[in-house]
Chain A
C-alpha cells in the first residue's frame, strides 16, 4: 500500500516537472517583444553614435565644465551599481537564509545584476577623459586611490555575479539544448557550447549546489563593498553634501531598495507578456516582495534622515547653502518628488494588503526605480553647483546635461535592458530545478526526471 502511494506521488512529481519544463522554455517574442527589442537597439545605437562623437571631440559635448565636473554619467554609474546589488540580496542573502519563495526570482534578479554591473563598468569608462589610457590603472595603479578599490570590487562582483547566474543555469541550458526543436543552428550551437557538456548527473548537481553556496557566501561582502566603495568616491572628498560618514550605509540601503524595485517590475512584465509565468510568479510572491520593499524603504528612510536632517539641524556654513538648494531652492521640486514618490509613497501603499497586488506593486516599483535614478542625480550634482565660486563663465555655474549626454546615458540604460531582454528570449528566466525544490519534490526525482519532456 505504502509503495503504491509513493509511486503515485512520484508520478505526480514527474508530471509536475514535465509541466514546469514545458511552461518555462523560452518562447519567441510576439509583436510587442520585437518592437521593444528594436526600440532598445535604436536607443542603444544612438548612444554608441554619440559616444563615438564624444571620443572625437572630447567631453566638451557634455554639459560638464570645471565647476560641475561630474554629471549624469557618474550619477548613472551610481544607479547601475545600486541596482546590481539586488543580485546578491535575492540569490545570496535569501538563499543562505533558506527562504524558499525566492526560487522563481533568483535568475531574474541575477540577470538584472549582471546587466547593471556590466554597464556600470562601461559608463564609468564613458566618463573618462582619456579612455585610451585605461591600462594606466594597472600599469601605474595606486592602491591608495578609492578609484582603484572601485575597479577591483566592481570587477570581482561582476565575475561572481556572472558565475552565480551561470552555474544554476547549466541544467536549463542543457535542457534547451536537448529539447528545443525548430530553432536555428546557431542557437543550438550556443546551447551546446554554453551547457559545457552537462549530463544531468547527481554528481554535477552536487558540485553546482556547492559552488552556489560558496559563491553566495563570497558575494555578500563584495556586494556591500561595491556600493560602499562607490559612496567613498564622494565621501572621501571635502565637499559639503559628500563629506559624510553616513554615506556607505545610506548608499547600500538605497541600493537594496532600487534593486528590489527592479525585480518587482521585472516580475510584473514577465507575467504580463507571458501568461504561463502566472503559476510561478504568483500573487503571493508579489505580496512577499511588497513586504520586503516596505522594510527596505524604511531602512532607507532611516539613513536618509541621518543624511539630511542632522546636517540641517546644524546648518553649518557651506553645508547650509547646499541643503537650502535642496530643501527650498533650485532643486527643491525634484528633491521632494524623489523623497515622496521614491520612498514615502511606496511605504504607504505597500503597507496595505491591497497595495501589494501586482499592478499597484508595479507602479510603486517604477516610482522607486525612477526616483532612485533622480536621487543619484541629486546626490552627485547639487554638491558641485552651489559653492560660491567666482571667475567662471555664468553658463558653467548650472549644469544641464546636453542631448548627447542624455543619449549616451539613455543608451547605457537601453543596453542593460537589452541584455535582460535577450536573456529572457533565449534562456529560461525561471529555474525549473530550483522551483521543483521549492515545491518539495525530492532531489532524487529531480536528478532523474528533470531532463525529460512531455513532448516525447
Chain B
C-alpha cells in the first residue's frame, strides 16, 4: 500500500515537499481547504500523505495543498552567517513545566526526527534526596564557548554571530568527537538511514532546519533559525501549553513565550535565573528559572516512556 503510494506520488510529493515543507508550514498545511495551487502541474485527484498538527498521517488531494514559497532556510554556505545584530537567548521556566511533552512532539514532527533521535529532552531532576523533584526541558545550550565547535575537525559544527550553534551535515565526517565534548549530551547521531527520510526526500538541505537528515552524521537542536528569521518563535516555544519557553534577543533585552513578552534582564532579576553547569565555563545561551512557586504539582511518570518506547 505504502509502496504503491510512493510510486504514484513520487514526483508530486517531491515537488510539494520541496516547496512547502521548507517554510515550516507542514502542520498547518495539513489542514484541508486551503487555496488550490495556482502554479499546479499536478493532475487532479492525486493523493499526498502528510502529517497533521496532532500527529496523524492523512492523505490529501494535492490540489488542496497550499504551496508557499520557500524563503527562510538558507543553504549550508549561507547558514554560517547568522542574523545580523541578534544574540538569541532562551529562558526555560522550570516552575511551569509539567512534562506535557508538547515541545518535544512538535520538535520531532517539525524536524522530521525519527523516534531515536530526540533533540529536546525533558528530564526528571532531583538534585538531592531531600529536595523536591521537578521537570527540566533540555535543548541545546548554544554555548557562547561551545566545546563541540572547538573540537570539530572540519568545522561542520559552528557558532554564528547571532549566537546559534548549527551542524552542517553535508560536511560532518561522523567522528562524534563533538558528542564526546558536549557536557550537556545534546547531540544525536544518525546510526542508520534516517527513518523519516521519505517525508523530506528531495527537499533542499539546510543546516537551519536540519533536514533531510543524513546517515552517519551528527544532529542537534538548532533553535529553529528559519522561524526566527521570519520573526516567529521556535516550535517548542509555540507548542508549549504552559509558556515554559521564552525566546528572544539578548541585545533587545526582550524575550517572549508567545503570550507574554518581557524584559529579559527583569525576568532574570525577578525570578533568579541561572544557567546549567556554569562551573564548566561554556556560557550557555539557555537560562533557567528555578522551580519555585510552581504552576503544577509534580506528578511522577516513568520517564522515557514517551517517544522512545513507541519508536515513532
Contacts and interface: CB of A to CB of B under 8 A. Distances in A.
Nearest to A388: B123
A390 B303 contact: yes
Given A69-B180, A136-B173, A391-B123, A58 B154 contact: no
Interface in A257-311: none
Q: Which of B152, B187, B280 has the most A CB atoms < 10 Å from its CB? A: B152
Interface in B188-234: 188-193, 214-218
Given A128-B216, A242-B180, 6 more contacts: A64-B191, A129-B216, A133-B171, A142-B155, A390-B124, A393-B308
Interface string B238-268: 0000000000000000000000000000000
A398 B38 CA distance: 54
B179 A69 contact: yes
Contacts of B123: 390-391
B121 interface: yes
Interface in A45-62: 57-60, 62
B304 interface: yes
A139 B171 CA distance: 10
Given A58-B193, A128-B174, A129-B215, A393 B304 contact: yes
A392 B171 contact: no
B121 A390 contact: yes
A389 B189 CA distance: 16
Interface of B: 116-118, 121-124, 147, 150-156, 171-177, 179-181, 183, 185, 187-193, 214-218, 280, 303-304, 306, 308-309
A129 B175 contact: yes
Contacts of B214: 130
Nearest to A133: B173
The 5 closest A-B pairs by CB, nearest first: A129-B174, A129-B216, A60-B192, A147-B153, A145-B153
A67 to B, nearest CB: 8
A66 interface: yes
Contacts of A234: 180
A113 to B, nearest CB: 24
A183 interface: no
A58 B192 contact: yes
Contact of B154 (A131, A141, A238, A392): A141
Given A58-B216, A145-B150, A130 B308 contact: no
Given A145-B153, A391-B303, A69 B124 contact: no
A141 B117 CA distance: 27
B121 A145 contact: no
A142 B154 contact: yes
Contact of B147 (A140, A148, A238): A238
Question: Mostly helix, strand, loop or mixed at chain A's interface?
Answer: loop
Interface of A: 57-60, 62, 64-67, 69-70, 127-131, 133-134, 136-137, 139-142, 144-148, 151, 233-234, 236-239, 242, 387, 389-394
A391 B304 contact: yes
A321 B171 CA distance: 36
A23 B227 CA distance: 77
24 contacts: A58-B190, A58-B215, A59-B174, A65-B189, A65-B191, A127-B175, A128-B216, A129-B173, A129-B190, A129-B215, A131-B173, A133-B154, A137-B173, A140-B171, A146-B151, A147-B151, A147-B175, A236-B181, A238-B280, A390-B304, A391-B118, A391-B123, A393-B304, A393-B309
Given A128-B174, A130-B174, A392-B308, A239 B180 contact: yes
A379 to B, nearest CB: 13
Contacts of A131: 173
Given A140-B154, A140-B155, A145-B153, A129 B176 contact: yes
A106 to B, nearest CB: 35
A289 B303 CA distance: 56
A389 B183 contact: no
A237 to B, nearest CB: 5
Q: Which of A128, A129, A238 has the most CB of B within 10 A?
A: A129
Nearest to B122: A391
